[in-house]
Amino acid sequence: MATSQLFQPITLDGLTLPNRIIIAPMCQYSAKDGRTTGWHTIHLGQLALSGAGMLIIEATAVEPAGRISPADLGLWSDETEHALAETLAQVRAYSTMPIALQIAHAGRKASTAVPWEGGAQIAPDAGGWQTRAPSALPFDPSENPPVALTVADLTELREAFADTARRAARAGIDAIEIHAAHGYLLHEFLSPLSNRRSDAYGGSLENRLRFPLEVFDAVRAAFPAGKPVGVRVSATDWVEGGWSLEETIALAEALKARGCAFIHVSSGALSLDQKIPVGPGYQVPLARAIKAATGLPTIAVGLITEPEQAETILVSGDADMIGLARGILYDPRWPWHAAARLGQKIEAAPQYLRAAPHQAADLFKVV
């Protein structure tokens, strides 16, 4: 049996993943007052039986005002912590898959309806809340603008991120991914399109990096040593004069020096003016450039749909891991099918061992 890079283990700090398939965070908009619900048990449970190397739970707000929608997951109180711990216990009763948590703040893109109800901003006088951001610039000119954060606000938010990291550790999370992508708060600090501050947190690249790096330091200090902390980035805004790949590399270098365990490379979603050249693997060149410049373990994501495509990305050295999101919602057994096509073995729960087809009769390893 030929060796497949996709099915080789990888170690991030003190955490070893059995393969390079990463289930990327996917918002479910199904929480109640920030708490996980039965939907999360079903959703995470099925993904935890997929055979992937690691599951990253959806964007989880560090404070109520940091939620994208009122139905977003959060981890800011004893109640939200208890709910998450219970959900993890139920999933882990049947799966050994490492589970990470993406922690986030939506910034100016907070207070919106869930996608299947249109996703538009909910104004404070219509049942939403006042958003906050680096500068008082709305994502959409038609929206209620955010209030610019004060320096005192930033101190409180750093502690909110750190507190969420401590709660995640107590709940049993194996790794943390800090969300600094997709136009949310930390990305808003990074991009000159959304950050027009004139203090130490705006203007130069060094200043725009300052708050995201402070948040990383606070989270890294609060989360147990040996458990990885990584960062998800939008490597470019896809807008002239916006956040760029070169600036992302500078951020990645600074994160590496602070002990960042991995970088998860996405792009866009900060500006309505973006022009994205969407196509198979369209974000892989961004991951390749960051990996080549910094050597950080890198997750590539974005229209990577075929096992052979994923394998080629890894063999070529473009990335170290492959992130799947919509594709694994569509096919929750993608890792099984990838192992069968690449001639590899994969772990499966004993209840499912009889599912192996005749042409891949030796597909499964027992968990």
Q: What is the mean pLDDT of residues 354-365?
A: 91
What integer is the mean pLDDT of 193-204?
98
Residue-number span of the structural domain to which 44 is assigned: 5-366
Which pLDDT tens digit goes with each residue over 89-142?
A: 999 999 999 999 999 999 999 999 999 999 999 999 999 999 999 999 999 999
Q: Which band of pLDDT confidence, cut at 50, 70 and 90, is reported for residue 2?
A: confident
pTM of model > 0.85:
yes
Domain count, the chain: 1
Is there a catalytic annotation at residue 184? yes
CATH number at residue 12: 3.20.20.70
Q: Which two tokens stand for residue 160?
A: 């909110």
- pLDDT of 366 > 80? The answer is no
> H-type helices in 174-299, by residue range?
185-190, 205-222, 245-257, 284-294
* pLDDT at position 1: 61
pLDDT tens sequence across 210-249: 999 999 999 999 999 999 999 999 999 999 999 999 999 9
Residue 264 neighbours by CB under 8 Å, 6+ apart:
22, 24, 177, 181, 230, 231, 232, 233, 298, 299, 301, 323
What was the pLDDT predicted at 367? Answer: 61
Provide mean pLDDT across the span 358-364.
91
Of the residues 29, 94, 184, 352, only one is catalytic, namely: 184
